[in-house]
Amino acid sequence: MTIKARHLLLGVLLLLLGWIAVLALVLRFGGPAPAALVVWPPEGFLRVLPSDVSVTSRNALGLTARGGPDLVDELYAAGARLVLPAGLAGCLGL
């Protein structure tokens, strides 16, 4: 039995989409993260951010923000389409 390149690419794509979905759901319904990555923020996003949210970095992919315990809700209310956790130490905590 051989693995066709098309099936391999489809599997990798589904794996990546599933991973992103799990990260977004864990951030939305789990505990707070030290920061959040807003992927491809909409036009004018920075103007509508609350004053307690600070942007710590910005690049072509998006921006990283820090804030209070309601950070994720505030980012979605400002128009973010996808918010992922940022600044987590991971499972090892090294």
Could you report the per-residue pLDDT of 12-43, keeping only the tens digit for each?
Answer: 999 999 999 999 998 888 877 889 999 999 99
Could you report the per-residue pLDDT of 51-74, keeping only the tens digit for each?
Answer: 999 999 999 899 999 998 899 999
Give the model's pLDDT for residue 90: 59
What total number of domains does the chain contain?
Answer: 1
User: Residues 29-33: contacts with CB within 8 Å, 24+ apart?
Assistant: 32/69, 32/71, 32/72, 33/71, 33/85, 33/86, 33/87, 33/88
Domain containing residue 24: 5-86
Give the model's pLDDT for residue 21: 94
In a domain, 48, yes or no: yes
Could you report the per-residue pLDDT of 71-90, keeping only the tens digit for each?
Answer: 999 999 999 999 999 876 65
Q: Which CATH number do you get for residue 30? A: 3.30.70
Are 15 and 77 in contact, with CB atoms under 8 Å apart?
no
